[in-house]
Structure 1
């Protein structure tokens, strides 16, 4: 859909006219993520909303990489479900337009991506833990297969987390000149295979599927979780592990920039928020979180969608240090995940690599 298409679509939707107070409006493309296009619709009186549209291809890689448009239907259904169980943590969805592969939602103009903020307070991490607890405690109403998850996107997650990064010189990977992966042990490979089995077969909770600091927005007090296109039914530790990996990427950026690191307080706050609502942090959940964290840390070093905190480092020597450190930490966490005995044990393993005294 073009800007003109969006304008005509909005004009035909009475519910969106109410949001815009029936004023004249303009439509702007404001970019998007790896998969979809994002448009802002803003009225002359300042009211606005966001339209998210899925083209028949993966936006990041272009028209040659075809991808089913139905993917956005699963996302809008998942966001609507999240709105019922965690309304303060997601933008309001005004309209689901399955027939045009788009949906309209609240414009978060006062919010910024968490990965672009250096001042995220600890209560935000607690709220992220609270959101995970809500996923843990609630179950969506039964629907037909594919209503909440898209098989094509789950396959992409499977391939780019558990398969391609572990195949030497796979053509889907993007290698950087300052990083050469180390040989991996049979134990590492076996644990990745176990994590993959859990990802594919443990249909326990409806997850966000790509929960990281680039899919969480904050205004410093509140948070909003966006971009649920990779939603799927799986083990809760997957969402937790991916999120923790990206918290650690921010910390690795700070570490390699000779800045203070705060991962202990941030990760503790996340689990504190989870436990406050769920009343438990099971050892199985913690161990899976650690394992999936390691898998996410490792794959971001090799896939096209790199970790933005590492890419933001200003020079090659810092990037080389960050990549090597990320790989070492990833291997440690994957290989040790099934032997972690407590949150303190996990944090101690991280500290061995991110202790300021080891710089």
Structure 2
């Protein structure tokens, strides 16, 4: 059956009434399109009493481009699977799924409009005291529970099979590991940053390290990862956080999600160098960002280590020396993938508001240079920066 997009509000409302009991049959419903990503159509359906839900529909193409760029609709199944798996282990951090319809490629889910987008919260210099604990626990639980340490071997291999996501992985392989490290036509480079971009493209040592990270991304099936865990995929309040849009999810290297998350804190760090506002306030917030990054790792590594020690099924993976080595490998991978994410967000196709909101081109270029400096350091020195403290010191040296 060919795909049928919702063409008007009545079609959406009828679908919601047929597949959800959230609204009274007598209530008048309103539809608002809130699509702000590149791939899908997203709508909020609400009534006058304050009840609401989200409708997400995946067309067989990239939404902002149309039929000229076809894209598998299986991504909506992957997203639903990832949300359901996360709900089993960390129900507090994902919106509840009310209904999944494979024929229409639609998910109905909880509206998290009472949370704010983390990227904007960081730009606004909002401190969130519980965020590091929440994100660190989520990462530890999900990475351990979906790995071969916690799952029987055949069950883990079945998860690897059902989570295969080749088309979206191919996009990531290109926009993370290929485009930003060569003079690719898709790149969007600030003209004031041409020399720095050229230096990246000519750096054989850097590209060799990126190739090593890409190999792990393409071949390692450690755990079910989100695959796109930037700050725009996290919504938060002072006491809660929610994670959305896991359509890039697949079984991949644990350090990738952690690294992408780290990178988005560091991209904001680079942006705070020149975003509007009091300089002392911006510097203080840069300190909070580095501390939060350190706290996320501390929370993750402590919780993950505890799970490894007490719940690993395979005795051969229970050796304390192995577990210590494994955590260090995840840390090093996380730094490397953070550097790749920062590079692609600075000279690749997809930039971030944390830096693009800087109106003055010279000041924006200054933050972009800092971003690239941090990125290069993370990729090239990931095996020698052994602790968050060493990372903080190295970053602070670049800033000065």
Match of 1:167 in 2: 182
- Deviating beyond 4 angstroms after TM superposition, the runs of 4 or more aligned structure 1 residues are 140-146
Change (3 A) 1:265 1:145: closer
Provide the C-alpha distance between the structure 2 equivalents of 1:11 and 1:84, rounded to a whole number of angstroms: 27
Question: Is 1:53 aligned to 2:57, yes or no?
Answer: yes
Match of 1:19 in 2: 22
Instruction: Give a deviation string over 1:244-300, Cα, whole Å, max 9, x none.
Output: 000011111112233221232111221122134223672111111000000100011
Provide the C-alpha distance between the structure 1 equivalents of 2:207 and 2:228, rounded to a whole number of angstroms: 23
Gaps of 5+ in 2: 1-5, 307-323
- Between stretches 62-71 and 314-323, larger displacement belongs to 62-71
Change (3 A) 1:240 1:112: same
Structure 1 residue 121: deviation in Å?
Answer: 1.4
Q: Secondary structure at the match of 1:49?
A: strand
Question: Is 1:194 aligned to 2:201, yes or no?
Answer: no
Q: Secondary structure at the match of 2:331?
A: helix
Provide the C-alpha distance between the structure 1 equivalents of 2:269 and 2:167, rounded to a whole number of angstroms: 32
1:249–1:310 contact (8 Å) kept in structure 2:
yes
Structure 1 residue 177: deviation in Å?
Answer: 2.2
Provide the C-alpha distance between the structure 2 equivalents of 1:80 and 1:88, rounded to a whole number of angstroms: 12
Q: TM-score, normalised by structure 2?
A: 0.83
Provide the C-alpha distance between the structure 1 equivalents of 2:178 and 2:302, rounded to a whole number of angstroms: 36
2:86–2:94 contact (8 Å) kept in structure 1:
yes
Structure 1 residue 145: deviation in Å?
Answer: 6.3
Structure 1 residue 28: deviation in Å?
Answer: 1.6
Q: TM-score, normalised by structure 1?
A: 0.93
Match of 2:128 in 1: 121
Question: Is 1:234 aligned to 2:249, yes or no?
Answer: no
Match of 1:84 in 2: 88
Structure 1 residue 32: deviation in Å?
Answer: 2.8
Structure 1 residue 29: deviation in Å?
Answer: 0.9
Match of 2:137 in 1: 130
Change (3 A) 1:149 1:116: farther
Provide the C-alpha distance between the structure 1 equivalents of 2:23 and 2:106, rounded to a whole number of angstroms: 18
Structure 1 residue 302: deviation in Å?
Answer: 2.5
Match of 2:239 in 1: 221
Question: Is 1:272 aligned to 2:298, yes or no?
Answer: yes
Question: Is 1:4 aligned to 2:10, yes or no?
Answer: yes
Q: Secondary structure at the match of 1:104?
A: strand
Change (3 A) 1:102 1:147: farther
1:27–1:42 contact (8 Å) kept in structure 2:
yes
Written as runs of structure 1 = structure 2, the 5 A alignment for 1:205-220 is 205-220=223-238
Provide the C-alpha distance between the structure 1 equivalents of 2:190 and 2:71, rounded to a whole number of angstroms: 26
1:310–1:322 contact (8 Å) kept in structure 2:
yes
Structure whose alpha-carbon radius of gyration is higher: 2
Change (3 A) 1:127 1:75: same
1:149–1:233 contact (8 Å) kept in structure 2:
yes
